[in-house]
Structure 1
Amino acid sequence: MKDEINKVLNFVDLHKGEEDKKKVVENITSAVSFRGSNLWILACAILIASVGLNVNSTAVVIGAMLISPLMGPIVGAGFGLGMYDTDLLKKGLKNLLIATIVSLTISTLYFYISPFKEAESELLSRTSPNIYDILIAFFGGLVGVIAFTRVEKGNPIPGVAIATALMPPLCTAGYGLALGNISYFLGAMYLYTINCVFICIATFIIVKYLKYPQKEQLNETRKKQVKYGISILILLMIVPSIYFAYQLFIQKSYNSRTENFIKQEFTDNDYPIIYKNIKYNQSPKRIELAFLSKKFNQTEIKDLNKRLIDYNLLNTQLIIKQDTFNIGNDILNKINSSRDMVDKKDIIINKLRSQLSSYQFNNDLIIKESEVLFPSVSNLSIGNYTIKDKDKKDVIIPIVLYQSTETMDNEKAKRLKDWLKIRLAKDSVEIYRQPLSPISKITKAKQKK
């Protein structure tokens, strides 16, 4: 039994394949400093990450995480804490602070200048940390430190850089500063702090497990103080994260019940949904739906709202957006409005026609009648002339120009004028004779023959 236990312990022993401790400490110490190339790499990485978050590109964000040198000072601080190396601890914390300030400054300037200010999903996902982020940071930190202490580094380092995600929260914090959104800034900085603290704690545990030599021999009181300090720091990070994780669990549970309600009440009844929006962070919560063809009356909507309790969807209101009705009403209103416009146009047209009819006469018919009644009249041309009466109202007087082969005496002229008054239904008519042209005289003479 003892041999089997030894085999298992030997199988999981981290001392196998371990790099020389002195060399590891030298590598960690050199990676802590942010000077020269490290600072330039950090600046470029933070810019790339900011662009990736700004355009919501996961691939670009991952690229920025891969080239980020932020793990150096965090792991250095963890080593300094585990080895009780005060100088290395101070150096790691100092350079981490420098890197944080530089990153915040660059990301804030970028988002302040950037014309794109909308908060995309890649940004929003870094504003609400929870217990899962702690687990990722801690186990990611374990993997990273184990890889640092190996002779063969292998592939874990890039994976750790992606999993622990130090750059995105810093960029999101810069976004919050640029827009003056304190909640975004605090949420992102909390996530960044969680990552830094638990990577550091994971490093501390591995350093103690691998028994790296202590640089300073501390008494038991001092060691207890360090342990108490770490424990308090862990509690400060974990307690809010547990609360956020619980809230996330409650929200996911609510969303699951909501999906079940929608499935059983609508999807299973073949009611195609074209719009769905669940508003969790308000009171009462709202489930907004719109359907392709199904229309619900107010009684049905009330019954559906009552059924929410059966699905444990408390303090929730179902809103069915019957946009098609609204669109239909809008169309009908537009049609009615158009009809009104058409009716108004018809009225105006009819009115104009009526007015034009008072200006226009059937000259051909009147000419034919005049030739029978007045044989000497060869042609008539009728128009209207508008004058103002004493009350300054418009008065329309027909003006008749006629041609005649004979000169009319006063009696014939009066008879022509009286006939035109009756024929044109006007109280007053003015007649004027036009002389015949030579061609008209010849034509008239031929007609008499």
Structure 2
Amino acid sequence: MNENQKNVTAPSGQDSGDEVRKDLKGLLGSVRKFLSELLEIRSNTDAVATKESINADIPFKGHTSWILVCSIFIASIGLNANSTAVVIGAMLISPLMGPILGMGMSLAINDIDTLRRSLKNFTVMVVLSVITAFLFFYLFPLRDESSELLARTKPDIRDVLIAFFGGLALVIARAKKGTIASVIFGVAIATALMPPLCTVGFGLAIGKPWYAAGAMYLFIINTIFIGLATFLVIKYLRFPMVRYANSQRRRMIARLASITGILVMIPAGFTFYQVFQESLFKKQAQEFLQDTVEMYQFNGSGRYVDNLTKLEYVDDGESLVEVVFMGDELIPDNVINTWRTQKNQFSRLKNAELHIIQGGRDDSEEKFNYVSELYEKNKAELLNKDEQIRLLEEELATLTKNVGKQIPFREISAEAKANYENIDALGFSYLIKTDFNKLDTVPVFEVKWKDGLRTDQKQTDAKKMLSWLKLRLQDSTLVIKQVN
């Protein structure tokens, strides 16, 4: 009975396993077929129309040149005004993509004549764009270094990825039967070929060639990788090759283009690494400030000015975390030492210096100079921050008024003790008074004379001391108040 049951069970299990494998194989086949239909682009490609379309966009003559000049002017105005919307509008009408696609396609299909024509028009495009941007920024009276402009001077690996995948999307859209215009517009915005050229002209116009160099490097990155993406897609789609006797030369040019792309990626990759490390440093610094400095509770008039916090990352060096406090209340030394200990708990802040700027500890002149320097340094960043500007202006007004009235009290008290033997104690403070027309700050010295001193002697000594103090401190508004 048991043997018969075993004999019956075994074939049943084998049949079930075969059915599972058959179902799995069918499922994988269906998935493969679905993905093939989803991602396959060769069957819907129009090679002839694509070549004609790209070739038609290569020349820069007549209408195209004027469109380029107008778009450069619009982009320059948008960058100058720090308006992203205007810059996007300029990129939508810009005809910059044509020669770049022509270079990539000509390398892929061995069309040396098209390559030569693309390079010539590409050079004309770059020179015309830079000259137009230079003239605008050189002649235009407002030339502030906006964030939109500065963003085009520091390329990194992300710009390589944007240009490469943008180029892929563009040439795939061009190759499709019935071009997808929205894709072309989107790539024109994402790859941002025009703003770097405008920034080159801006850097030359204001005499800062390093701006121009960084922006030109960003433009070259975008150009090379859009061309490289075009080359790869055209190869994948198997566009027919143009047969020349010098096909060996075509292969050499293709290799040189690939090597150039790799060489461009090396410094871009290094820049990306630096930016990545800096972002990690700033992230930990912000976490540290949130857990410590921002949690501190003042008892009096002190306050933490968070918009003046300075975070400076130095690779293989001493980075800086600088925070600013205003008001007369000092942060106790034991609290600052605790902050420095907590800072060292963050891996990327161990070698960073924690610098505390306190309003009550520095004299008024130093505070005035420091706030003035920070105000000028951050002026462009604070243009649209009315509240922060108002705060800084109030600090500057207060410090400007008091900077000339700072009293060296320690020295004055020592001299007073030496000159007036009847003095028992000396105090000093500022008195704010008003006649309801204006507000004024008056320095007041409080004098306590020794017990038993005659009243007339007190009056005589107080009068002499007042004359001495006015002469010593060069301040005619001084007042002496006698206390018992």
Distance 2:286 2:443 in 1: 45
Q: Distance in 1 between matches of 2:443 and 2:304?
A: 34
Q: Describe the shift of the 1:322–1:234 C-alpha distance in structure 2 as closer, same or farther (beyond 3 A).
A: same
Question: Shift of residue 321 of structure 1?
Answer: 2.3
2:194 matches 1:167? yes
2:320 is aligned with what amino acid? Answer: R
Match among 284, 287, 308 for residue 343 of structure 2: 308
Q: TM-score, normalised by structure 1?
A: 0.70
Q: Secondary structure at the match of 2:110?
A: coil
Report the CA distance between 1:92 and its aligned residue.
Answer: 1.0
What's the offset of the Cα at 1:221? 4.9
Which residue does the alignment assign to 2:149?
123
Among candidates 169, 173, 183, match of residue 210 of structure 2: 183
Which residue of 2 is the match for residue 286 of structure 1? 320
What is the CA–CA distance in structure 2 between the aligned matches of 1:99 and 1:281, rounded to whole Å? 38
**2:309 is equivalent to residue 277 of structure 1:** yes
The answer to whether the Cα contact below 8 Å between 2:173 and 2:179 also exists between their aligned partners in 1 is: yes
Alignment-mate amino acid for residue 33 of structure 1:
P
State how 1:13-412 maps to structure 2 within 5 Å.
13-18=40-45, 20-154=46-180, 155-217=182-244, 221-222=248-249, 224-269=251-296, 273-275=304-306, 276-281=308-313, 284-291=318-325, 295-312=330-347, 313-323=349-359, 330=402, 333=406, 335=430, 338-339=442-443
CA contact (8 A) 1:78 1:203 kept: yes
Q: C-alpha displacement at 1:265, in angstroms?
A: 1.3
1:411-430 equivalences in 2 (<5 Å): none
Q: Distance in 2 between matches of 1:29 and 1:230?
A: 20
> C-alpha separation between the residues in 2 aligned to 1:347 and 1:198?
79
1:12 Cα deviation (Å)?
0.9
Instruction: Classify the secondary structure of the residue corresponding to 2:188.
Output: helix
Is there any run of 5+ residues in structure 1 with no aligned partner, and where? 349-449
Distance (whole Å) between structure 2 residues aligned to residue 187 and residue 242 of structure 1: 15
Q: Is the 8 A contact 1:140 1:160 kept in 2?
A: yes
Partners of 1:292 and 1:333 lie apart in 2 by: 17
Rounded Cα–Cα distance in structure 1 between residues aligned with 2:297 and 2:253:
63
- 2:203/2:210 contact within 8 Å kept: yes
Local SS of the residue matching 1:296? coil
Relative to structure 1, is the Cα distance of residues 139 and 289 closer, same or farther in structure 2, using a 3 angstrom cutoff?
Answer: same
What letter is aligned with 1:225? M
Conservation of the 8 A alpha-carbon contact between 2:107 and 2:254: no
TM-score (structure 2 length as normaliser): 0.65
Q: 1:72 to 1:219 in 2, by over 3 A?
A: closer
Report deviation, 1:295.
Answer: 3.2
Q: Match of 1:104, SS?
A: helix
Q: What's the Cα RMSD here?
A: 3.0
User: Residue 17 of structure 1 contacts residue 152 of structure 1 at CA under 8 Å; is this kept in 2?
Assistant: no
State the distance in 1 between where 2:246 and 2:121 align: 28
**2: CA distance, partners of 1:156 / 1:321:** 52
Q: How many residues align?
A: 347
Question: How far, CA to CA, are the matches of 1:218 and 1:233 in structure 2?
Answer: 25
Q: CA contact under 8 A between 2:107 and 2:231: conserved in structure 1?
A: yes
Q: Residue 339 of structure 1: SS of its match in structure 2?
A: strand
Deviation of the 1:174 alpha carbon: 0.9
Is the partner of 2:406 in helix, strand or coil?
A: helix
Moved more, 80-89 or 209-218: 209-218
Question: 1:111, CA displacement in angstroms?
Answer: 1.2
Which protein is bigger by CA-based radius of gyration?
Answer: 1
Map of 2:435 onto structure 1: none
1:17, 1:151 within 8 Å by CA — same for their partners in 2?
Answer: yes
**1:338 match: secondary structure:** strand
Residue identity matched to 1:290 = V
After superposition, the C-alpha distances for 1:139-164 in whole angstroms (9 at most, x for unaligned) are 00000111111223231011000000
| SS of equivalent to 1:321 | strand
- Aligned to 1:287, the other structure's residue is in SS state strand
